[in-house]
Amino acid sequence: MVYSMMRIVYKASQAGNEQVIKDMRRICGEPEDSAWLPSEPAQLCESSKQTRDRARQLAKDIGSYHIDLNMDTMVRAFQTLFTTLFGFQLHYKGQQGGSNQQGLALQNIQARSRMVLSYLLASTLTLVRGRPGGGSLLVLGSANVDECLRKLDLALFLRYAKVEYKLDVLEKFLTAVPTAELEPITEDYTQSDDSMFQRLRLGEWSHMAPRAIFERVRFLWTMFGINRHKQEILTPSLHAETYSPDSNRYDLLPFLRPRLTWQYNKIEKTIDELEERKRSS
């Protein structure tokens, strides 16, 4: 995403846009009397092992300053603090003594602390690297708005960028197993496939039994009910598509969802009747 924006800046600088050139030189730390212009967009991007390798390779390909950081030290510090306070050690779900509540707490340590670390680095990297003029860097990160976008659309963008920007490394991102990397990756680890619901929404139901369809629909609406409120804190969206995660324009469903117990009971009753009719025939 950053690289695609830098391509726009590069084109503007090549076209002689004085304001863009002035801002670009200032942000890149060039002296006031500099006549520097980038020779390619990659020059503007300085600002699990497999994932880190992909990130390192992508940073190299787009010319970005990259820090390869292991979060384990920070995560262990929080875990040690918690154990010191309460004499209780948290475990991920699936580990001995673990539970879903403990697992979510551990995932939140990394999910929240990495953003704090991002802001720390953004406000100090210009100092550490001796960049003239100092200042802070812009923090770009994923949040609720990204979780609202369709993964298939993101994959299409990566395929486009791979060809248009000549970034072959993006193929590794497209074929990687999706994971938030907030818990240990085990042999039986899976992450929910959101594209499954998109395929079902388009009508791929005929091969499934009614009860299987119901289980998936119930799971979808349960997760939707748990997470719907997150969309209410989104900032106004850029409407570049025919859909949008902006809930106030494109999703007028209530953000506090009921449990839908009555609806589920009615569906289950209908399924029971269908299954009984099938057994009797």
Work out the average pLDDT over 151-164.
82
Work out the average pLDDT over 262-273.
93
User: Bridge partners of 236?
Assistant: none
**Mean pLDDT of all residues belonging to the chain:** 78
Residue 148's nearest CA partner among 234, 221, 218 is: 234
pLDDT of residue 59: 85
Q: Would you place residue 241 in the very low, low, confident or very high pLDDT band (cuts 50, 70, 90)?
A: low
% of the chain residues with pLDDT over 90: 14
- 108 compared with 51, residue with greater pLDDT: 108
Work out the average pLDDT over 218-242.
68
pLDDT of residue 81: 94
pLDDT of residue 120: 92
Buried b (16+ CB within 10 A) or exposed e, 82-95: beeeeeeebebeee
Work out the average pLDDT over 139-149.
63
- 81 compared with 32, residue with greater pLDDT: 81
User: Bridge partners of 93?
Assistant: 95
Work out the average pLDDT over 184-203.
56
Work out the average pLDDT over 127-146.
75
Q: Is 80 exceeded by the pLDDT of residue 234?
A: no
pLDDT of residue 47: 43
Work out the average pLDDT over 33-61.
76
- Burial (0-12, 13-18, 19+ Cβ within 10 Å), 106: buried
pTM of this prediction? 0.51
Q: Would you place residue 245 in the very low, low, confident or very high pLDDT band (cuts 50, 70, 90)?
A: low
Tokens of 239: 């409407």
